[in-house]
């Protein structure tokens, strides 16, 4: 079983307009509520790939009820802890370009944190937990890190999607895969890359620190997968990017969903690249038909 964790989900209010005039009343012909959050995005792609998963997190108030309703509509199995405070609402305005107004989110009470910890007792050997997304305002910065000993004790694997020191602090627990982009990777080492070889050298250092696999996304230059045995490269798929939200989550979902079935990192990378591109080419998280349309474009080459 794969479990996705979204500790600070949002009910996204998405509005479509031709243009926005500041200081005036703007009316939208189209507006929808969607369940938002990086772990939720991962669950959506896993569903499209036919991979069993459960979404974990916190949800509260009338917005939390609507968020869970949206998950149920999309047939995403979920087991969220009910909290006293209200789940945040994020406003997404699409008017030629994307404008986002994101709320900080609710405070999580200690008893609610403890209830979430109880979810980890369900873990069994062979399970996988995907930890991603921002933390609620009052949660400690090491919230994810404190979960890792419990996950590993159960014999489960984990994937974490974060950056900076928070990412480095998890490497000793041996995440199945991490996915910095090339800018985030450079920042980890306080450097800039003058060549792709310099980038690969730093990626190998993350393996030495404990990561089992490292995916590096490079936008129009495609992506790399670095494993202890090989380095793979895949060019970017050809298409028009219309959405910057969820592509990285989709890439992770494609990788982990395929890996739990096959154990093949090369094929997992190929599917991950296709899922990321498919989401980038649509206004929402990609569906199976869109992923299937992109997949033939992704040709993975072993370069070492």
Separation of alpha carbons 287 and 304, rounded Å: 33
Task: Give, to the nearest 10 degrees, the angle between helix 247-262 and helix 38-48.
Answer: 50
The per-residue DSSP string of 135-176 comes to PPTTS-TTHHHHHHHHHHHTT-EEEEE--HHHHHTTGGG--S
The number of C-alpha atoms within 13 Å of 86 and in the hemisphere containing its C-beta is 9
Closest Cα partner for 268 from 210, 229, 227? 227
Is 249 noted as a catalytic residue in this protein? yes
Q: Among the options 118, 208, 249, 284, which is catalytic?
A: 249
Handedness of CA 282, 286, 292, 295 (dihedral sign): positive
Other Cβ atoms less than 10 A from the Cβ of 238: the count is 9
Show the tokens assigned to 192: 């800039």
By the 8 A CB rule, do 40 and 27 touch?
no
Longest dimension (CA), the chain: 59
Show the tokens assigned to 201: 């050298």
Q: Hey, which residues are catalytic here?
A: 249
């Amino acid at each position: 079983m794969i479990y996705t964790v979204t500790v600070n989900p949002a009910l996204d209010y998405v509005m479509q307009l031709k243009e926005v005039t500041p200081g005036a009343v703007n009316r939208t012909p189209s507006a929808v509520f969607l369940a938002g959050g990086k772990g939720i995005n991962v669950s959506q792609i896993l569903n499209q790939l036919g991979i069993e998963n459960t979404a974990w997190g916190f949800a509260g108030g009338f917005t939390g009820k609507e968020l869970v309703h949206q998950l149920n509509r999309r047939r995403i199995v979920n087991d969220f802890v009910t909290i006293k405070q209200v789940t945040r609402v994020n406003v997404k305005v699409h008017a030629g370009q994307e404008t986002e107004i994101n709320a900080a989110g609710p405070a999580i009470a200690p008893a609610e944190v403890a209830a979430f910890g109880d979810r980890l007792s369900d873990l069994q050997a062979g399970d996988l937990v995907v930890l991603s997304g921002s933390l609620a305002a009052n949660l400690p910065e090491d919230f994810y890190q404190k979960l890792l000993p419990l996950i590993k004790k159960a014999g489960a694997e984990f994937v974490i999607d974060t950056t900076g020191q928070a990412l480095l602090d998890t490497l000793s627990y041996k995440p199945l895969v991490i996915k910095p982009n090339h800018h985030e990777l450079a920042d980890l080492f306080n450097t800039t890359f003058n060549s792709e070889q310099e980038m690969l050298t730093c990626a190998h250092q993350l393996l030495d620190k404990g990561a089992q696999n490292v995916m590096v996304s490079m936008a129009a230059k495609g992506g790399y997968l670095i494993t202890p045995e090989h380095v793979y490269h895949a060019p970017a798929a050809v298409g028009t990017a219309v959405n910057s939200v969820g592509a990285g989550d989709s890439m992770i979902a494609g990788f982990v969903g395929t890996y739990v079935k096959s154990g093949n990192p090369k094929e997992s990378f190929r599917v991950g690249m296709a899922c990321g591109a498919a989401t980038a080419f649509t206004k929402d998280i990609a569906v199976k038909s869109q992923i299937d349309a992109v997949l033939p474009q992704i040709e993975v080459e072993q370069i070492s």
